[in-house]
Structure 1
């Protein structure tokens, strides 16, 4: 390692599961207080640097739905770089949603960050996902992410930095969180809330020194990450004041700065040639080490728990991407009708709010998953009305006008390949059409002929 001073990036965040062992509304009650205190800290000057919004943008929408009067303040802090937003809209599980959903999630998250006046984060943050799919480096690279931040699914407990090679050969620098993952700083430096040691400044100083020494040993690059962002944690003024004693001062070969993940990953990526330990492809290794060394357990059973969630999600994804969206585009091209982008954006928002890992993995309390049913139904309702209305209008514009004693049937193939075979269709036959009966005379049968689009 070079003899130059190493920069320690202190990053303030919180890992915000929107729903889990509490419902969305119960957690939002806490979110409002958390954000109020963050804004107050900036306004008083007690909080000097930025806050990372847990790699997702949706929590700011959740906050402003309750505090709409603070939108201008949120936008100001985003413009100043005090709020670092995204890149995700709602941080998703990587295996239980489609690749298209991952792309839409990143697109929307970056769009929302810009709507708030900020620059979307370039730190590919997936801190608590139950393993990582092999194409994430490729997807992140497509959105100009400088690096990935991961934890579960890889057992390199003593290495913070890794080159990660994706399925297509894309190599992306990755930061792998240590002992307690993204909660390591909170557990080691802040301590257990309410405990005697957590309020002892000297104890906190010793913990900072110990954690810094260990992270420095495990990190191949000059840049070191101190990440304070455990589950639903508010910022801690005491430990922050003690760490702030070292801000902008060089001591023992280290300089501590309050910055953000973007600054850290850019500095880390600039020295990617120093990183030695390489990982390749899908990261789904089960835990190999004791909890004293590494807490990354994979929790693979969530892939099949509450299977109805996975089925409903797949049906909604298919409805939007194979029916509502292509039909909307076809209607715009053939009939010059407005593309239903507004409605589709609303549908995607409902669906993406069901994609966080504690939601779609089916590992939360029952009420959380009951709430998911409503979001799926809203997505379905929008997708179905777009699909049915568009098909009706396309059918009305195929060939000549429909004669009074005829009805037109339009078959739509939303699959990615042609269908050559029989198709089962259920039709409503007009009640005034001619009928016939067979020898036994049990019930009248509608009489009709089938013609193709050319009248044959």
Structure 2
């Protein structure tokens, strides 16, 4: 039997269920259930983008554009969506490659939906760059944001770096930021329990810190897992929290699925209220909710935020050395550029210096400088940092030649004038090596007044048939940020010549002893290392009773980052000493060469002691051929009850003597007692950052350790296992060179001038051969001096804000280095001024002195006038200005035709033959 067709019996449209899946209604949202938790999750949409890591920077360049277009499109689709962005370099890439996108971003910034945080050029490693680099991250980042977008970042953010030095709060506040977001270290990696807290620098500066719970990025789909894990990680007492979401690392940002799920869970009330937000909104609402008293009750953290990925302090020795070299070079170039502009009328090369700095800042990114990127990334880094050094050298060489041609150098046949330039704003007395030619009878050295200067012949770097090429080392005494004239005169010094400079001390040297009037160093010919380091000033032998190896080689199975490592103070083999050779022994210095080997690798240490040095310098060359091995250089001491102090950017910090691997800048100090007397030993170096200070054990004395190198596979991340049959590239293969100095002191490292010693080691004085000519300048000149005390001038530069056509103003930055309040006196002959100012413990102050002689202005770290009058205003006093240059002071015809020593010798020979 057939049936008639049935009528349409579809159910009428019913409301969509309040569920996590299926079609969802669009906002406005229904009221949440009363059962929803009484809290708000501020959902921070971001796209953490590593511009270089497992990919080259060129790929990051493209991904920034793709990610930012995605964020703009999500804003078009979701009226409540807010995007949070940091790392200014990404914006600069977009500006130069996609003007349409940049204009869209600019409009969204003005609307308030594109939020800028961080304010720095990149998210750098936050331990290894020097203090001035952290200043420049904000100088270039904040100024770019202000110029291009009309805003600055008021919230600092370094989501991904592996640790954060304790001076950052003062630096952030000086750049206009009052709060700070970060992820690492996590709750399992240090004793900080709070999610929100006050982070305080030694000077008392504070920022409101927030440790991002769980992660800074998320999967591309539902955010429930992100919210669950974040809520499981955070401090429960906090109430409202920030949860970061969005596809990251290789960029991507928030997806439609992310945003739709936030809307669903907000309506369901699963986690409480969920709102599209930003760090700035969160911090403002937190302050309003807690009130002044509640904010004051938050816990206070007063030291570094460490530690995570301890292997990154030593991974890839090359990038560490290149960075140190580039930072020193550009700071040197800034100083001489300021001298050239203000004293000699040169254009201040602001654009060139900015380009150099941006290459340096980019390569401080937290997967480049820590050594955790792929191998090709370091080819780019080498080239980019090489560009920064090349720019700096051109600026320095130009300025030095402009100065040199205006120094009064009277004609003296047969001599070779030499100018020595000191880049540091304090007096430097140091040995200077100089290559020269056309002096077949050898030379002696005099200063501008004709006084004999201590020198000795050394091996030339040239190995040719040209018998005229020689080398000397002379002791130069150069005024602060200035120059001094010397001359090479032919032949040995005349009998009875009047000496100048430091009186020559007694210097004895053999294959087992180096000794001057201040130090006595004894070397074990079997190990090649010290058995005694006697400080004659105090009578304390720093190595009395010390025992333990100087070199330790061990297998290192840890990944590139050193995940899960807390210490590299592992037992290891000593390298075998194969030769000890006395290479130099003269009146100025002695040099003892120690050669070692292990496996296929070699290490040479040349121990150098000057006639009046209060330190022992060691010049190291390593040819490393081991894979997945580690070399720790150890310095056993006879010190009991030791205290360990590490240099950090712009300051210092005390850490436990527990053999833990810690980051540091250029020096580590151990102070305690030696046979009942206070004493200490510091190790200062120019290339390394991974240290430990180990306590005494049954087998060895207390010691300082430097992780000289590690050789893991490039960018190998635990828990991935390496294939036993795989082909991999290992770090730190081949030759590397660095230097360190052993500095004994009387038990107070503050009296040893360690940061200045480090600066001199990393940025030596420069000597240049010159010609004869008249000129207005004297034979020595200083342009800036900080007096060499507790306050150290770290920057002398031209100002960033200068009207078109105007000369650069002078910007000077000073830092208190000992942790105690003091009064500074900064003499600036360059502008005819003296600045006197009080500085608190570890305080940073920056002064701008107009080129036209106008009133001095104290500025922040972005070089904008301080918003508030400082509690301790600085005084400005007049000072006799340095002699300025003139339009032209070329050589006379006789000066330019002066005979050289070889010609004079030939004339003398002709005369003898003719007679």
Same fold (TM over 0.5): yes
Asked if 1:163 is matched to 2:163, the reply is no
RMSD: 3.5
Q: Aligned residue for 1:241?
A: 260
Asked if 1:312 is matched to 2:322, the reply is yes
Report matched runs for 1:326-345 at 5 Å: 326-345=335-354
How far 1:80 moved relative to its partner? 2.3
Q: In structure 2, which of residues 359, 363, 376 is the aligned counterpart of residue 367 of structure 1?
A: 376
Equivalent-residue separation in structure 2 for 1:455 and 1:182 (angstroms): 59
How far 1:269 moved relative to its partner? 4.5
How far 1:423 moved relative to its partner? 2.7
Report matched runs for 1:131-146 at 5 Å: 131-146=163-178
Asked if 1:353 is matched to 2:388, the reply is no
Equivalent-residue separation in structure 2 for 1:256 and 1:273 (angstroms): 23
Equivalent-residue separation in structure 2 for 1:122 and 1:309 (angstroms): 31
Task: Determine if contact 2:69/2:101 at 8 Å carries over to the other structure.
Answer: no
Equivalent-residue separation in structure 2 for 1:165 and 1:112 (angstroms): 27
Distance 1:365 1:47, change over 3 A: farther
Asked if 1:21 is matched to 2:54, the reply is yes
| Secondary structure, aligned partner of 2:274 | strand
Q: Aligned residue for 1:266?
A: 284
Equivalent-residue separation in structure 2 for 1:396 and 1:171 (angstroms): 50
Q: Aligned residue for 1:106?
A: 138
Asked if 1:228 is matched to 2:260, the reply is no
How far 1:37 moved relative to its partner? 1.7
Q: Aligned residue for 1:376?
A: 385
Asked if 1:77 is matched to 2:108, the reply is yes
Distance 1:66 1:214, change over 3 A: same
Equivalent-residue separation in structure 2 for 1:208 and 1:361 (angstroms): 28
The count of corresponding residues between Structure 1 and Structure 2 is 411
Distance 1:12 1:333, change over 3 A: same
Equivalent-residue separation in structure 2 for 1:102 and 1:428 (angstroms): 43
Equivalent-residue separation in structure 2 for 1:49 and 1:445 (angstroms): 71
Report matched runs for 1:66-215 at 5 Å: 66-85=97-116, 86-153=118-185, 154-155=189-190, 159-179=194-214, 181-183=215-217, 186=218, 190=219, 193=220, 198=221, 204=222, 207=225, 210=228, 214=232
Q: In structure 1, which of residues 35, 41, 57 is the aligned counterpart of residue 74 of structure 2?
A: 41
How far 1:8 moved relative to its partner? 3.1
**In proportion to residue count, which structure has more helix?**
1
Q: In structure 1, which of residues 402, 414, 419 is the aligned counterpart of residue 423 of structure 2?
A: 414
Asked if 1:56 is matched to 2:90, the reply is no
Task: Determine if contact 1:158/1:218 at 8 Å carries over to the other structure.
Answer: yes
State which drifts further: 119-128 or 410-419.
410-419
How far 1:12 moved relative to its partner? 0.9
Task: Determine if contact 1:110/1:120 at 8 Å carries over to the other structure.
Answer: yes
Deviations, residues 133-163 of structure 1 (Å, cap 9, x unaligned): 1111111121231211122235468632122
Equivalent-residue separation in structure 2 for 1:28 and 1:443 (angstroms): 53
Equivalent-residue separation in structure 2 for 1:449 and 1:213 (angstroms): 77
Equivalent-residue separation in structure 2 for 1:208 and 1:363 (angstroms): 26
| Secondary structure, aligned partner of 1:409 | strand
Equivalent-residue separation in structure 2 for 1:421 and 1:354 (angstroms): 32
| Secondary structure, aligned partner of 1:173 | strand
Deviations, residues 217-249 of structure 1 (Å, cap 9, x unaligned): 7254454212114422431102302313577x8
Task: Determine if contact 1:94/1:133 at 8 Å carries over to the other structure.
Answer: yes
| Secondary structure, aligned partner of 1:420 | strand
Structure 1 unaligned regions, length at least 5:
199-203, 286-297, 430-434
Distance 1:136 1:397, change over 3 A: same
Q: Aligned residue for 1:390?
A: 399
Report the TM-score when normalising by structure 2. Answer: 0.41
Distance 1:333 1:213, change over 3 A: closer
| Secondary structure, aligned partner of 1:164 | strand
Equivalent-residue separation in structure 2 for 1:449 and 1:120 (angstroms): 59
| Secondary structure, aligned partner of 1:327 | helix
Task: Determine if contact 2:91/2:102 at 8 Å carries over to the other structure.
Answer: no
| Secondary structure, aligned partner of 2:170 | helix
Equivalent-residue separation in structure 1 for 2:367 and 2:167 (angstroms): 22
How far 1:428 moved relative to its partner? 5.7
How far 1:122 moved relative to its partner? 1.2
Q: Aligned residue for 1:201?
A: none
Asked if 1:32 is matched to 2:49, the reply is no
**In proportion to residue count, which structure has more strand?**
2
Equivalent-residue separation in structure 2 for 1:357 and 1:280 (angstroms): 23
Q: Aligned residue for 1:293?
A: none
Q: In structure 1, which of residues 259, 276, 284 is the aligned counterpart of residue 306 of structure 2?
A: 284
Q: Aligned residue for 1:218?
A: 235
Q: Aligned residue for 2:754?
A: none
Task: Determine if contact 1:121/1:262 at 8 Å carries over to the other structure.
Answer: no
Equivalent-residue separation in structure 1 for 2:425 and 2:110 (angstroms): 43
Equivalent-residue separation in structure 1 for 2:58 and 2:203 (angstroms): 41
Distance 1:428 1:436, change over 3 A: closer
How far 1:47 moved relative to its partner? 5.3
How far 1:170 moved relative to its partner? 2.7
Distance 1:412 1:267, change over 3 A: farther
Q: Aligned residue for 1:288?
A: none
Equivalent-residue separation in structure 2 for 1:273 and 1:399 (angstroms): 64
Task: Determine if contact 1:348/1:379 at 8 Å carries over to the other structure.
Answer: yes
| Secondary structure, aligned partner of 2:209 | strand
Distance 1:449 1:92, change over 3 A: same
Q: Aligned residue for 2:311?
A: 301
| Secondary structure, aligned partner of 2:69 | helix
Report the TM-score when normalising by structure 1. Answer: 0.79
How far 1:357 moved relative to its partner? 0.9
How far 1:5 moved relative to its partner? 6.4
| Secondary structure, aligned partner of 1:426 | strand
